[in-house]
Amino acid sequence: MITVPEDRPRTERRYGERPIRLYDAERKACVAHRCFKFPDRALNTAAALMNWHPIGTLEVYNSKTGRLLGSYTKRASGLVQTWIDDKVKGKA
């Protein structure tokens, strides 16, 4: 059985280790079981998920700070990617 130390607040246990999430803008809900520690892995996974995703938008955000890191939008013409922060992909 896993025991969690009680000296940390509940929100820190929940968001502390893997704060990066994927959000489906069409369903207005987070994508289940997609929590990441590193933003570049989250963005790469979002790109892979968009291959099977219907037309819509997947956003990558930090649940600790609420900051949007990037998004992928699938349209009938193709896939459009938007980087909010260039430091995420190492372009800075």
pLDDT tens digits, residue range 36-77? Answer: 988 889 989 998 998 888 888 999 999 888 889 988 998 888
Number of neighbouring beta carbons within 10 Å of residue 27: 9
Q: What is the pLDDT of residue 51?
A: 85
pLDDT, greater one: 89 or 71: 71
Phi and psi, residue 61, nearest 5°: -140, 160
Range picked from 12-16, 22-26, 80-84 for highest mean pLDDT: 22-26
- Stated pTM of the model: 0.70
Alpha helices in the chain (DSSP H): 10-15, 39-49
